[in-house]
Structure 1
């Protein structure tokens, strides 16, 4: 059985836009109006580099993503694109807004992706419309039970070494019991993570953008 870890903060974070959506399919364009695409420029020993991640719009001026998208990078510049389906073209629905500043969860740890949460403040507020909307939060007392089917969306590779998809993809995964993840992952935390996966091992998400 293939088991996944997804950081949770009342909802599933996108694992950096779910860097890989394996065994999934293209979503109906703009059916996930809360999705945000992050283009990240940074500097390393090879010069100026570019990576990308995904996130959720949580209010008109704020996006939540994954801390590992920017952790340990120098001179980071982030542009957030909202209302996108195909990020390789300039769709009329898209709104591109620079991130004014951001903060990583103070207890983030790259070892096991604990508290892998990044909060970004946008330079200007997004214009809310049919293609750009805030994500709905679950109630504080809601609990996702084992057997529940959930969907994870993102832009990225469609296989571990597959091509990069420029259109938004999604995969359906089932919430598993906690015990297998606790057994397989030393850093698994019940209070802030969810154990999900596909028993056939043909569906997955993966967070690397190499």
Structure 2
């Protein structure tokens, strides 16, 4: 574990960091932090379970991710978003404009999937434990689903950059994306169709890009995926962690609490 931490520290020293943005580009041809490209601004507060994560990294930088409530106590997000300290903001639309709907929560426990691999991004899933206000725990999205096949149109949501050269968006945005066949993600060296979803038509400009890993992918209002990584040039498709294989692991943790 100490050796892995040392390796991670050396890799992360290459990161270009600014407030609300942490991105890592690698020779593998992908960016491990993604955002919404060609999306639209969401209606204010339609999804009170959406979570904005402000992260103090192990190196002391400030970064951000997305996530969503799956119970009164737990937020589901990407393992890549792990840090020294995480603050969850619920009930936010514009992350720069505090409202009465806001609730800020300190994360008491970060539960990373035991098989998460930092370098391949496999098993990129994590649960964050905190105590949410009941008003944010109502109408949680359905998320324990079976394997979803390609061809469906789904919806991703998050905060962050809206283009390669664009500035950070303070408001929650969403974009409709098509689920693709596994072959569309063959250029990603470690892509696994059993554990991940290939998302976004390569003929379209719509995609997920830098700024908010950990945000949800909804298909017919069922949470099916978690934003994981995409290409450095923002071209579709991007890779999302498939939630369905991790249902036993998630349920085991929820039952223990």
Q: TM-score range by the shorter chain?
A: 0.7 to 0.9
**Separation (CA, whole Å) in 1 of partners of 2:104 and 2:34:** 20
Q: Check if 1:192 corresponds to 2:195.
A: yes
- CA shift, 1:29, in A, is 1.0
What SS class does the counterpart of residue 178 from structure 2 fall into? strand
Instruction: Assess, with a 3 A threshold, how the Cα gap between structure 1 residues 161 and 110 changes in structure 2: closer, same or farther.
Output: farther
Q: Distance in 2 between matches of 1:88 and 1:19?
A: 20
Given the alignment of the two structures, is residue 52 of structure 1 paired with residue 64 of structure 2, yes or no? yes
Distance 1:166 1:208 in 2: 11
Cα distance in 2, alignment partners of residues 101 and 111 from structure 1: 23
CA distance in 2 between partners of 1:143 and 1:191 (Å): 8
The structure 1 residue matched to 2:132, chosen from 120, 126, 129, is: 126
SS at match of 1:68: helix
* Superposition misfits of 4+ residues, deviation over 6 angstroms: none
SS of equivalent to 1:129: helix
Give the number of aligned pairs: 182
The 8 Å contact of residues 157 and 174 in structure 2, kept in 1 or not, is answered as yes
Structure with the largest fraction of helix: 2
Q: Please, what TM-score do these two structures have when normalized by structure 1? A: 0.79
Cα distance per residue 1:170-203 (max 9 Å; x no partner): 111101112222x222211121101111242311
Residue of structure 2 equivalent to 1:176: 180
- Report if the CA contact (8 A) 1:83-1:132 is conserved: no
**Kept in 2: contact 1:93–1:131 (CA 8 A):** no
Aligned residues of 1:83 and 1:131 also touching (Cα < 8 A): no
Q: Say which structure is richer in strand.
A: 1
The Cα of 1:136 is off from its aligned counterpart by 1.5
1:74-118 Cα distance to aligned partner (Å, 9 max, x none) = xx1111011111111211111111001112111111223111112
What is the CA distance between 1:206 and its match in structure 2? 2.0
Taking structure 2 as the reference length, the TM-score comes to: 0.65
Q: Judging changes above 3 Å, is the alpha-carbon distance between structure 1 residues 116 and 207 closer, same or farther for their aligned structure 2 residues?
A: farther
177 and 109 in structure 1: CA distance in 2 versus 1, 3 angstrom threshold:
same
RMSD, matched Cα: 2.2
Matched, 1:20 2:32: no
* Corresponding residue SS for 1:180: helix
Task: Please list every run of 5 or more consecutive structure 1 residues that lacks an aligned counterpart in the other structure.
Answer: 1-14
Gaps of 5+ in 2: 1-30, 213-257
